[in-house]
Structure 1
Amino acid sequence: MPRTNYNNTAGLKYHTTQEILLYASLSIGPICIFLYINSVLLFTLRSKSVFRETFRYILLYNLLFADTVYLVSSSLLYLFAVCRIKLTFYMCRALTLLSMLMSVISPLTLTVMSLERFVAICYPLRHAVIITVRSTGVAITLVWLTSSLSIIIRVLILLCSNTEFSFDLQMKDICSKEAFFLVPMSHHFNTAYSGIVFLSAGVTVICSYIGVTLVARSASTNKASARKASQTLLLHLFQLGLILISTFHSNIITAAATIMERSHVLRLSSLSFIFLSILPRCLSTFIYGLRDQTIRPFLIQHLCCQWRCSAFLNKANAGE
C-alpha cells in the first residue's frame, strides 16, 4: 500500500509538471510571434529617413521599444515562475524593475500620441509649430523621467520601511514584484500612482477623441483623415483599458485561486497573461503597422523573405 500511494503521488507530480510545461510552451508561441513582429517594425522605423524624422513615428518607436522590452522582461519572469526557477536576488531585481519601468512608459506615450493626433486634426495649421523635433524629444524625456521617478520612489519606500528584507544572493521564493514590494505603503503608492496615470491618460484620450469627432463633422476638414484619427484614438483607449486591467493580473489570479481548482487557475493564469499582459503591448503594431499606409508596405516586405517580397512586388508592378 505505501508503494501504491507513492506511485500515485509521483504520478500526480508528473502530471502537474506536464501541465506546467504544456501551458508554458503554449505561451511561448504567441510571445515569440509578437516579439518578432515588434522587432521587425522597430527595424522598419529605423530603416527610412521619413520614419526617423516624422514626429508620430518617433513616438511610435519609443512606444514599441518600451513594449518590446516589457515583453522580454515580463515573459522571462512568467516562464521562470511557471517553471519554478529561482533566480539570484540581483537578477530578479533587474528584471522586475525593468518590467515595471516599461509598463509605465506605454500609457504615458499613448497619451502623448493621442495629443499629437488631436493637434494634427484640430489645429492643422499650427501642428508644424507645436509638434517639432524638439518638443517631441522633450515629451519623450518627460515620459522616461516620470516613469523612472515612480520606480525610484518605490525603491525608497522599500529601503526606508522597517520591514526586514533579505538581500541573499539566492532568492527563497519565485521572482515577482510582489516578492519585493511587500510594504503596505508601496502597495498604496502603486495603487494611487496607477490610478493617476490611467485616469489622466484616459481623460486625455477621451477628450482628444471628442475633439477629433467634432472636427470630423465639420465640412471644412478632411473627413477621411479625421475619421481615421478618431478610430486610432478609440483603439488607444481600448489598449489603455487592457493595460489597466493587466496591472491587476496578480490580484485576479490570487482571487481565482481561492475559488477554483489548481488546474483551472493554471489555465486562467496562462490565458490572462497572453490576453492582458502580452496582447496590449502588440496592438500598436496593428494600429500603426498594418493600418498606416506609409509603414505597411515596408513592414510586409521586412516580415516576408526578401526574395519572395521582391518577386511579389515585381509581379504587382507588371500587372499595373
Structure 2
Amino acid sequence: MAANNSLPGDDFLQQKVKLIIVQILVGIFLCINLMLIVTFFKKECFYKTTRYILFAVTLLSDSFFLFMSDFLLIMNYFVFTIQVWLCVVISVVVLLYLTVTPVTLTAMTLERYVAICMPLRHAELCSTRSALHCILIIHGLSSVPCLLILSTFFVSASLSFYKQYQICSVEMFMFYIWQQHFRSALYQFQFLIMCIIIVLSYLKIMKVAKAASGENKKSTRKGLRTVVLHGFQLLLCLIQLWCPFIEAALLQINLDLFKHVRYFNYIMFNLAPRCLSPLIYGLRDEVFFHALKDYASFGLYKRNII
C-alpha cells in the first residue's frame, strides 16, 4: 500500500479507474462465457458435435485465463506478495491456457477444412471420440511451452528462492536475457506452425468455394469467413507474445508511457481475443444462437416460434 500512496493523486485515481474498467470487462466476458457454456450442456446435439465441443474448450480456456490473469492483475495493483512456489502453480495455469485457445482455434480450422474439403470423411474423422482425443492432444501441445519455460527457471533458481515472498508474475521466472529470448522463440515457432495451417486451410477452402454452387457455395463461404475470423483471433494472440518486449523497451524510456501501453496491450491482446469466440460461434452459428436465445428468454423464445 505504501507504493500506492507515493503516487500522485491524479495518477492514483487514473490507475483505480483503469482497474475498475478491467473488472467490468472481465465480469461481462465471464458472464457471457458462462451463459454459452450452460447453453452448450443444455443441448445433447452440441456435446456430440466436434466443432461445438472444441468451441466449449475455447470458452473454458478463455474463462480460466481471464480469471487467473485478472487475479494476478489485482494482486499486482495492491502489491500483494505470495510465496514463489504458489506463484509457480498459478503461472502453470496461466501459461497453459495462454496457449490452449490458439491451438484449439487451429483444430477448429482443421475441422472446417475437413467438413468442406473432405465431406465424405467428416463423420469418420470428426467423431465425438476423435474430439476427446483432440482435446488431450491440444492440452499436450499447449503444455510443451509451459514446461520448457518453467524448466529453465527450475535449473536456475535455488531451493531457498521458492520460500521467498514476491509479487507474482511470469517475468519473475526470467533471471537471464536468454530465457526471455528462449520464451519468445518458442512461442513464435509454435504460432508460425499454426498460422501456416490456417493459411493453407483457407486457400484449400477458397479453392472449393470457387467450384461450389447453390447451397454448397453458401455453406463454403460461411466456413471461409469462420477461418478468416480464426486467423484474426490468432493474430491478436500472436501480437500478445510481442508485448513483453515492447513494454520492456518502453520501461527504459518513459514510465508513464509504459503504463499506458501495458494497459492498452492487456485490453487489446488479452481481453479482445477472448471475446471473439462467442462472436464466431455463439452469435454467427444459427443453431447455437437459437438455443442461446431460448435459454436466455427462459423458454419464451421457443414458445413464440411454435
Q: TM-score, normalised on structure 1? A: 0.86
2:168 is the alignment partner of 1:175: yes
1:128, CA displacement in angstroms? 1.1
Percent identity between matched residues is 30
Alpha-carbon spacing, 1:76–1:232, altered in 2? closer, same or farther (3 Å) = same
Q: Which residue of 2 aligns with 1:285?
A: 278
2:247 is the alignment partner of 1:253: yes
Q: Which residue of 1 aligns with 2:194?
A: 201
Q: Residue type matched to 1:68 in 2?
A: S
| Distance in 2 of aligned mates of 1:52 and 1:153 | 33
1:164, CA displacement in angstroms? 8.2
Q: Which residue of 1 aligns with 2:220?
A: 226
- Equivalenced residue count is 302
Q: Which residue of 1 aligns with 2:93?
A: 98
Verify the 8 A CA contact 1:41 1:285 in the aligned structure 2: yes
Q: Residue type matched to 2:240 in 1?
A: S
1:78, CA displacement in angstroms? 1.7
From 208, 230, 242, the equivalent of 2:236 is 242
Structure 1: runs of 5 or more not aligned: 1-9
Q: Residue type matched to 2:252 in 1?
A: T
| Distance in 2 of aligned mates of 1:196 and 1:258 | 28
How do residues 114-193 of structure 1 correspond to structure 2 at under 5 angstroms? 114-161=109-156, 166-171=161-166, 174-193=167-186
1:169, CA displacement in angstroms? 4.5
Verify the 8 A CA contact 1:215 1:226 in the aligned structure 2: yes
Compare CA radii of gyration and give the structure with the larger one. 1
Q: Residue type matched to 2:179 in 1?
A: S
1:31, CA displacement in angstroms? 0.8
CA-to-aligned-CA distance 1:109-136 (integer Å, 9 cap, x gap): 1111111100100111111122222222
| Distance in 1 of aligned mates of 2:186 and 2:68 | 21
| Distance in 2 of aligned mates of 1:194 and 1:284 | 21
1:152, CA displacement in angstroms? 2.3
**Counting helix residues as a fraction of each chain, which structure ranks higher?**
2
| Distance in 1 of aligned mates of 2:201 and 2:110 | 7
- Per mean C-alpha deviation after superposition, the further-off stretch among 196-205 and 182-191 is 182-191
Verify the 8 A CA contact 1:158 1:183 in the aligned structure 2: no
- Per mean C-alpha deviation after superposition, the further-off stretch among 248-257 and 25-34 is 248-257
Verify the 8 A CA contact 1:107 1:197 in the aligned structure 2: no
CA-to-aligned-CA distance 1:187-242 (integer Å, 9 cap, x gap): 23322221121111101011111111110111457011100000000000000000
Structure 2: runs of 5 or more not aligned: none
| Distance in 1 of aligned mates of 2:176 and 2:250 | 23
RMSD: 2.3
User: Which secondary structure does the structure 2 equivalent of 1:161 belong to?
Assistant: coil
User: Which secondary structure does the structure 2 equivalent of 1:233 belong to?
Assistant: helix
Q: TM-score, normalised on structure 2? A: 0.90
- Per mean C-alpha deviation after superposition, the further-off stretch among 288-297 and 55-64 is 55-64
